[in-house]
Amino acid sequence: MKTLRQIADSSAGTLLCLVVALAAIKFGTLATLPETPAIFSDLIADYLFLTWPTSFFGIVAAVILLLEVLAGKSFPLDATAGKLAVLFGFLIAIGALFGAINSPQAWIVKEHIAYYASCGALVLGAKLYIGNDENRCRYLFISAGIAALLVCVAGIEQYFWGFARLRAFVAEEMTRGVFYSEPMLAKVNDSRVFATMTSANVLAGFLLLTAPLGVVAAAKFGERLYPKAYGKLIFGIAAAALTLSVFLLTKTRGAYLALLLTAELALWLAPCRKIWKFASLGVLLIVLVAGAWFIHKQGRGFSSLRERASYVQTAFRVTRQSPLVGGGWGSFSIAQMKYKTTPTDEVPRDPHNILLNMLSQCGILGVVPVALALSMAMIGLYRARRRSIWHTALFFGATAFLLHSMAEINHLVPGEWALFGVLAVAGTTAKEEHRASKGTTFAICSAALLLGIATLLMHFSLLKRDYAYSQYRKALDERNFEEDFRRDAAIAAWQNSPVVYELAGDAAWRRGDRAGAEYFWRQAWEISPTRPSLCRRFAAVETAKGNSIEAQKWRNLAKELFPSDPANR
């Protein structure tokens, strides 16, 4: 008969493998966009087919960690995997705390800290589950491979049928008089596959990390057939064709470059003559020049490259103001509005770089744990790459993923950043790991218990907040008589956040209640006095009052905050 500890351990392991396998399907959305909270469905069945609110991820991660602490596992701290788990589990989350010191938008701090705590909880729980059992590592590799294959099936369905359904729906809505802006229509008509992820770029990053494991998992499954060699070949080729086709359909140039550079690295590490290695460099150079020419002549141009370059410049500008602890969470977006030169209304929340994100907003104290974790992970995976085909696939997948993460938002997606941490810990786990002393294990597990409880409480609070917002949005859409009640509940749940106040003001304005609209917008402005959208709303209020001079002052302020925004022209 199983003991309580054994039940807790097996339950945590099952849940962990499910989370890894469903990483992209259920947790592929952004985690640090507090202005776009989750929308909840009233039908339980919908949660089988929709991505889950990101707060669910934090709750599940905390439950896994708490179950493993209950199981009473010892901790191999002196091994690479153990140190990695501590870095991901505690130190990166502690580094995120420094972003609270100078934050110009205090209302978004909680989301960032909760996010990194949840990712850390999952990685720490994974290490407690694995111990030094290589079979358990293989379970996680297989789960990650399944995740890659599942999201690719979703991508194929989207490309051939999903986009057509979406465009037909939009066309029908427009015939009813529903307005769709030009940027929205451009997104609707975009053919880049994003499947269940938040964007095509994020899907490409996910596939760089997991597709090699998916191919290995399919090939291993093929070995069950007879003859083994043919089964392995057929399933391996089929998985490679599936994942590569969806990867190419993302049309993500940065991901293509990451794949090419990783392929070049693989050739240099392969046991072949040096002449072939140097020749491959020439081929790579030709491919890069040809690709640049094609992008310039036939593609979308280099606007996104210029945009990424501006992110880097802004990140260093923010860092220079406070090198040690950074500009604080939310500082990058405010600075980017000011320095942005491209004429679009898009404002990223981070510099699309895993290191610059922490450096600019949490300073040197925040970026050091991340840099240590990534360095230790890649060194450990490099040393373990010959241990098995799984380890080889993981090393090259992780390399491509991190290269891509230098120019994309992969670290803001729980289905990617936490998964990278889990796989890094699994890939550096070895049989010969030594167990930590009882005192060390007790200290780590005690800290893990506190982390699990804190993560659980933070994400329950965020879940409650997002649900209140969702109910208010629903009341507005349905013109529900309980709208005011829902609004008050949402405001209470969001506390010091401008989001609900701005939404409430918009609702009052549509009803013709100018005084009510101005009241709620003023509340939002007191919390966050750097929002050009509010400036334009105040300009509209003053125009309605006949105060053209005051209206122009608000328009000038909006332009000062965000000079390149087309709305300010």
- In 3D space, the residue among 297, 305, 303, 299 whose CA is nearest the CA of residue 344 turns out to be 303
Buried b (16+ CB within 10 A) or exposed e, 285-312: eeeeeeeeeeeeeeeeeeebeebbebbb
Residues 402, 429: Cα–Cα separation, whole Å: 20
Distances, alpha carbon 110 to alpha carbons 92, 106, 462, 528, 531, in Å: 15, 8, 9, 15, 20
What is the pLDDT, as a whole number, of residue 470? 87
How far, CA to CA in Å, does 134 sit from each of 127, 199, 226, 386? 12, 34, 27, 14
Distance CA 223, CA 220 (A): 5
Residues of the chain with pLDDT under 70: 1-2, 31-33, 181, 183, 296-302, 432-436, 479-482, 569
Quote the CA–CA distance of 369 and 116 in Å, as a whole number. 12
- In angstroms, rounded to a whole number, what is the distance separating the alpha carbons of residues 448 and 9? 15
- Helix locations, 131-227, DSSP H: 134-157, 163-175, 182-188, 200-222
Under 8 Å between Cβ of 237 and 444: no
Helices (H), 250-408: 253-269, 274-297, 303-321, 331-339, 354-383, 389-405
Cα separation, 12 vs 73, in Å, equals 12
Supply the pLDDT for residue 39: 74
Nearest-CA neighbor of 200 among 300, 293, 290?
300
| Sign of CA pseudo-dihedral 490, 493, 495, 497 | negative
Which pLDDT score, from 0 to 100, does residue 536 have? Answer: 93
pLDDT on residue 434: 67
What pLDDT was estimated at residue 93?
Answer: 95
Q: What's the CA gap between 212 and 197, in Å, rounded?
A: 18
Other beta carbons less than 10 A from residue 101's beta carbon? 18
CA distance from start to end of the chain: 73
Hey, what amino acid is at 12? A
Q: Which helix (H) or strand (E) holds 473?
A: helix 438-477
What does each C-alpha distance from 177 to 13, 106, 241, 506 come to in angstroms? 51, 39, 43, 20
What pLDDT does 301 receive?
A: 59
